[in-house]
Amino acid sequence: MKRRNPMDRESLITGCWIHGREVVTHRFWSVEDPAERAVIARVHTASEEEVNQAVCSSAQAFANWRMLSPEKRSELIKKWAELLKRNAERLSEVLSLEVGKPIRSARSEVVSAADFLDYCATEGIRISARYSDSGFIVIREPVGICGIITPYNYPLSTLAVKVGPALMAGCTAIVKPDEHTPLSSLMAAKLALDAGIPPGVINVLCGPGEEAGRLLVRHPSVRLISFTGSTKVGKEIYAECSAYIKRVILELGGNCPAIIASDASWERHLDSITQQTFKNTGQYCYRITRIIVHKSIYESFTARFVEKTRNLRVGNPKSEETQLGPLNNLKIYENFRRQILSVLEHGGEMLLGEVPEETPSGGYFVRPVVFRNVPTSARIGFQEYFGPVAFIIPFSDDDEALELANDTIFGLAAYIFTEDYRRALRWSRNIEAGSIWVNRIHQARFDAPFGGFKQSGIGREKSLHGIEAFTELKTLYFKLDGDHR
């Protein structure tokens, strides 16, 4: 039996998705396969007209969606999750093509997105009112229409982490996916309609952030913006939202440290440290960027880490054996190249890798890069590296390790490896980061809040806190019969 090509036109939605139907426009954006630099789809992009249509649709749907019981919303979201799983292979193929993500990683992302929606549908029922015997009730109500702006690196799982809580809270969502990776989001929106989620509850607008995204952020009827992306763009969105005092949830850049103490069982964790450094070709907000290693084990750790990194398999995302695919687009590729050149110009010693060629001859492939002896003048903690690079830094004592870990404008995540629990607790209390892993690395849990300190963002996603972020508190004062106060 012939396998269906995921890019067959009849199997794709390439228009904006507004009120349960595909809307075509007269403007286009070419979606590229970053592994081959070939156009795989031409997507219709939104103008002010389509943004207004989506907002009107969301407002109409909100009036009814907010009145559904939490149990009914939960039932529909669970059906949506089930359809994502039923269509997992097709979704995975599209994700792999548009992101450049290895196919095994793409499958994992689809499952993770569906599992999170299942979690959200269960946890969201627990949002409750607070009753007082003093004559008042505190309730939570949905914020309203939410603008959801998602990144290219994890388009489907990020959509789930934002749209699931919004819907469970009773809000409606207008999704603006990254212009390079809209296809999986459009497919997910269609599957939501197939699951019984009413038209207008989820709309999708395609196009560049400078156009469609800015129009969505500026629309006065949109009450909340949830954005995952760079700190630079997050600041712009924050400023735009201030004009209307809009609620914001910003999950921004990272430059995450891993501290490896002299007593750490680092050999046991080396595989997971390497994976967390280079996963998704380094296009990952809470990946390890700076590895801070005690000087007594610095040379041995560095040698083994470089060896592990050298053996990572870079190649075609369609291959089951590939571990690292290409970078997603030319802008990311060129920025990564500039960053590598800058570190070399400041005197950093490249232990592994090479400077990406100025003009890529094929796809946007780059080899993993490992640096050491990088001077402080390079200020490596003050920018996000969205590509496969690691910096190995020695330290002498616990205080120096803390100072190095916190020498950054970011504070998304950190990793600690030591057998001394007192040291682990002290470092954990003093590292400025929203999530810290001690002697383990795994995906951030659904039932734990996730977000950053400093310039890594505002607010928290996941867990009950992430659902409540899409609600407003309202206090009701009652005077009951027989109450003479």
123 plus 40 within the same structural domain: yes
**Residue 114 within any structural domain of the chain:** yes
460 plus 335 within the same structural domain: no
**Residue 449 within any structural domain of the chain:** no
CB-CB contact of 215 with 53 (8 Å): no
Q: How far apart are CA 485 and CA 482, in angstroms?
A: 9
Distances (CA, A) of 175 to 136, 172, 226, 237, 319: 36, 10, 10, 15, 31
**Residue 479 within any structural domain of the chain:** no
Which is nearest to 268 in space by CA: 304, 298, 240, 322?
A: 304
User: What is the rounded average pLDDT of the residues 140-157?
Assistant: 98
CB-CB contact of 144 with 167 (8 Å): no
State which residues form the domain around 246.
Answer: 9-252+456-474
Tell me if residue 285 is catalytic. yes
239 plus 158 within the same structural domain: yes
Which is nearest to 256 in space by CA: 394, 483, 431, 60?
A: 431
248 plus 104 within the same structural domain: yes
**Residue 118 within any structural domain of the chain:** yes
% residues pLDDT > 70 (the chain): 97
352 plus 468 within the same structural domain: no
Residues 75-121 pLDDT 10s: 999 999 999 999 999 999 999 999 999 999 999 999 999 999 999 99
| CATH number of 108's domain | 3.40.605.10
Kindly name the residue from 50, 93, 251, 384 that is annotated as catalytic: 251
Residues 273-288 pLDDT 10s: 999 999 999 999 999 9
Kindly name the residue from 32, 171, 285, 384 that is annotated as catalytic: 285
Tell me if residue 123 is catalytic. no
246 plus 307 within the same structural domain: no
pLDDT score of 10 more than 60: no
Predicted TM-score (pTM) of the model is: 0.95
